[in-house]
Amino acid sequence: MVVFNPIRILVVDDEESIRRLMEKELNSMRRNVCSADSARHALELIERQQFDVIVLDIRLPDGDGIDLLEKFKQAIPDVEVILITGYGNVENAVEAMKLGAYDYITKPFTLDRVELVVEKAYQRVCLQRQNRLLRHTQTYHPLPQFVGRSSGVEHIQYLIEKVAPTNVPVLITGESGAGKDVIASAIHYRSQRAEQPLIIKNCGTLQKELMRSELFGYCKGAFTGANETNDGLITLAHEGTLFLDEIGELPLEVQAALLRVLETQTYRRIGDKYERQVDVRFLFATNRNLVEEARIGNFHEALYHRLNVFQINIPPLRERKEDIPLLVEYFLGLLGSGACPCRVSKSVMQCLMNYAWPGNVRELRNVIERGIILAENGIISESALPRELTQQSDSATTDVPLIPLTELEKRHIRRVMEWVDGNRSQAAGILGIGRKTLYRKLKEYELA
Ligand SMILES: Nc1ncnc2c1ncn2[C@@H]1O[C@H](COP(=O)(O)OP(=O)(O)OP(=O)(O)O)[C@@H](O)[C@H]1O
Ligand SMILES: [Mg+2]
């Protein structure tokens, strides 16, 4: 389902007839019009409410429209301003466009003209927003599959179906590469927010000092270098989902601010006087033990309890080896050429089943990707596997040293003698032979 948000329009004009006309005629299912009769009133409104397009009279009793235009542009990151100007003021309007106004309308105007300019301005607002979102969102298959058939995975699939349609925050835990990102996107794309942005941020990649501003945004002048007002990820994820990975990396004070967002659905930009409403579904992931982190004071305890309302824990791959054949098949289909997919030989499947997968599913995926490149005649054989996978099974199943028994005996006696530092009585005891026999063998094998 595609949800269209109404265009939020602010009309700033001291002429009551114009305000009334716009409120009456522009307001519709698609447009939400609000008005202000002075510069002061307009500034008050934008501090509390979000707008997409502002229609601004260039002359106001308590201020100059051009000054106001600059203030709007500074305070609201993606807003387009359309000026209304009298005949004699066109030059001012042109000047204003150089300062960032989208267009101007001269009085007297028709409503059709206003509608047209507002719609075009809104398209630009959407484009700018989308560009910004694209820098944060990732492209995923619309319905990411959490593949597996072990009881652990079946339970996870059940939890995803249950929790996805709600707004409850979810904490996803599991070792690196186990599939936390897959679960987060599976939840998002099965929720009613699927058409809205899924923003993913790895808190471990953010500099500590920047985390707060990245999440909450900031107002112009809030700190050195804050040259303009900027939205944070929480604002960008409005009506969508914000997935914060490695949540354990957030500094404690940012954790406290985040807890407030979870509890009240309001947030405050750095340097802002006002709290703003926001509608975001939060997903979190960590491969740290948050209980332990909370115990030693590294993690906000109340936030942990808020996150822990719904937890999905992914067992490591080594504990659900029955998922391996299905995952192998899935990756062969996903990564191979569609027409004639590769397959793995029996002994390769044995190696895959014997291996401990410290890098979990990610490592398995990489192994299959490499295997597909090295496959001969569509078959991935042992020579296409990384060494660590084949070595394991060599020693477990196929390591038969092809040497004579006497050579094996000689090597074994040498190793035992080294181990006991040349103590012959001890060596004879370990080898289970008499001392005399040992002397004889040492001589025979020239080990004495
Ligand atoms: N059950 C699964 N079904 C399909 N693909 C999976 C599954 N689990 C993991 N993957 C794949 O394995 C890779 C690693 O998964 P993912 O990025 O979700 O791991 P992670 O737990 O988030 O790791 P990290 O802690 O390093 O961020 C991805 O390519 C993902 O598509
Ligand atoms: Mg991840």
DSSP string for 113-174: HHHHHHHHHHHHHHHHHHHHHHTTB----SS------SHHHHHHHHHHHHHTTS---EEEEE
Q: What is the 8-class DSSP label of residue 4? A: P
Inter-residue contact 118 to 106 (CB < 8 Å): no
Asked if residue 207 has pLDDT above 90, the reply is no
Q: What is the mean pLDDT of residues 91-112?
A: 86
| Site to substitute for ligand 1 among 361, 366, 370, most atoms within 8 A of C-beta | 361
- All structural domains of the chain with their residue ranges: 7-134, 151-315, 321-398, 405-444
Instruction: Write out the CATH class of domain 321-398.
Output: mainly alpha
Count CA atoms closer than 13 A to 284's CA, side-chain side. Answer: 26
Around ligand 1, the residues with Cβ closer than 6 Å are 145-148, 174, 176-182, 245, 287, 330, 361-362, 365
| Site to substitute for ligand 1 among 172, 175, 181, most atoms within 8 A of C-beta | 181
| Nearest ligand by distance to the CA of 157 | 1
Strand 53-57 and strand 7-12: the pairing is parallel
* CA 182 – ligand 1 centroid, Å: 6
Asked if residue 394 has pLDDT above 60, the reply is no
Q: What is the mean pLDDT of residues 308-313?
A: 94
pLDDT confidence of 90, banded at 50, 70, 90? Answer: confident
The CATH classification number of 151-315 equals 3.40.50.300
Specify the residue with its C-alpha closest to ligand 1, atom 24.
176
Inter-residue contact 438 to 427 (CB < 8 Å): yes
Cis ω before 108 (30° cut-off from 0): yes
- C-alpha span between 222 and 168 (Å, rounded): 32
pLDDT computed for residue 351 by the predictor = 95
pLDDT confidence of 136, banded at 50, 70, 90? Answer: low
pLDDT in tens, 265-284: 999 999 988 888 899 999 99
pLDDT computed for residue 436 by the predictor = 87
266 phi, psi to nearest 5 deg: -130, 155
| Nearest ligand by distance to the CA of 312 | 1
Residue with tokens 């303009």: 228
- C-alpha span between 293 and 289 (Å, rounded): 6
* CA 351 – ligand 2 centroid, Å: 26
- The domains spanning 7-134 and 151-315 adopt the same CATH topology: yes
Q: Which residues make Cβ contacts (< 8 Å) with residue 94, sequence separation at least 6?
A: 104
Q: What is the 8-class DSSP label of residue 395? A: I
Q: Where are the beta strands (DSSP E) in 323-435?
A: 343-344, 379-380
| Percent of the chain's residues with pLDDT above 90 | 55
Atom of ligand 1 nearest to the CA of 174: 21
Q: Could you please state the CATH topology (level 3) that the domain comprising 405-444 is classified under.
A: Arc Repressor Mutant, subunit A (1.10.10)
Atom of ligand 1 nearest to the CA of 153: 1
pLDDT computed for residue 396 by the predictor = 45
E strand or H helix at 433, and its extent? none
Q: What is the mean pLDDT of residues 17-39?
A: 90
Residue with tokens 């106004």: 101
Asked if residue 426 has pLDDT above 90, the reply is no
pLDDT computed for residue 142 by the predictor = 57
Inter-residue contact 255 to 249 (CB < 8 Å): no
- C-alpha span between 428 and 349 (Å, rounded): 43
Q: What is the mean pLDDT of residues 111-115?
A: 90
* CA 113 – ligand 2 centroid, Å: 49
pLDDT computed for residue 331 by the predictor = 94
- What is the sign, positive or negative, of the torsion defined by CA atoms of 390, 392, 393, 394? positive
Q: Could you please state the CATH topology (level 3) that the domain comprising 7-134 is classified under.
A: Rossmann fold (3.40.50)
| Nearest ligand by distance to the CA of 152 | 1
Strand 379-380 and strand 230-231: the pairing is unpaired
* Helix residue spans in 76-110 (DSSP H): 90-98
| Site to substitute for ligand 1 among 141, 247, 362, most atoms within 8 A of C-beta | 362
Q: What is the mean pLDDT of residues 351-379?
A: 94
Largest interatomic CA distance in the chain: 122
pLDDT computed for residue 402 by the predictor = 67
Count CA atoms closer than 13 A to 295's CA, side-chain side. Answer: 5
